[in-house]
Structure 1
Amino acid sequence: MANIEQLELQAHREQLEADVARLVDKYLAIAEWDVPEIDEALANRLIIEAIRQALDHLEQAVPTLPSL
């Protein structure tokens, strides 16, 4: 049975995914200001990897989580 935290997250999962997509778009737009002829596919992959690394750092800063 799902716990309350899982149910709450599930209720907001679509919004979370939309927020992350907007974050990728935000940093792609910033990169395009600096380099107008940017390779968008490569820039997207690099931005997503940077977000993954940031999430890894955040996860390491959170107290130990119980197994899901």
Structure 2
Amino acid sequence: MTKIEKLELEAHRDQLETDVKDLVDKYLAISEWDVPDIDEPLANRLIIAAIRDALDHVEQGLQPSPPA
């Protein structure tokens, strides 16, 4: 990554973190509709694990295919 790309990413790092937190909150709220007495700390950990899995999947899809 070039210096300009790193600087640009750094400029958006706080917003990226806020967006991820909002995503966790969104899915926690959805879970609470289905399970009113949900264990929030456990639900947060499960949601974050699912987001990590999704990020891995997205990253794999963005990587160039190996040469044939």
Shared fold per TM-score greater than 0.5: yes
Structure 2 partner of 1:61: 61
Supply the AA of the counterpart residue of 1:38.
I
**TM-score (norm: length of structure 2):** 0.88
Q: Unmatched 5+ residue regions in structure 2?
A: none
Q: For 1:11-22, list aligned pairs within 5 A.
A: 11-22=11-22
CA distance in 1, matches of 2:36, 2:3: 47
Deviation at 1:4, TM superposition (A): 1.1
**TM-score (norm: length of structure 1):** 0.88
The alignment of Structure 1 onto Structure 2 pairs a total of residues equal to 63
Structure 1 partner of 2:25: 25
Deviation at 1:40, TM superposition (A): 0.2
Root-mean-square deviation over aligned CA pairs: 1.0
Structure 2 partner of 1:40: 40
CA distance in 2, matches of 1:4, 1:33: 43
CA distance in 2, matches of 1:5, 1:58: 20
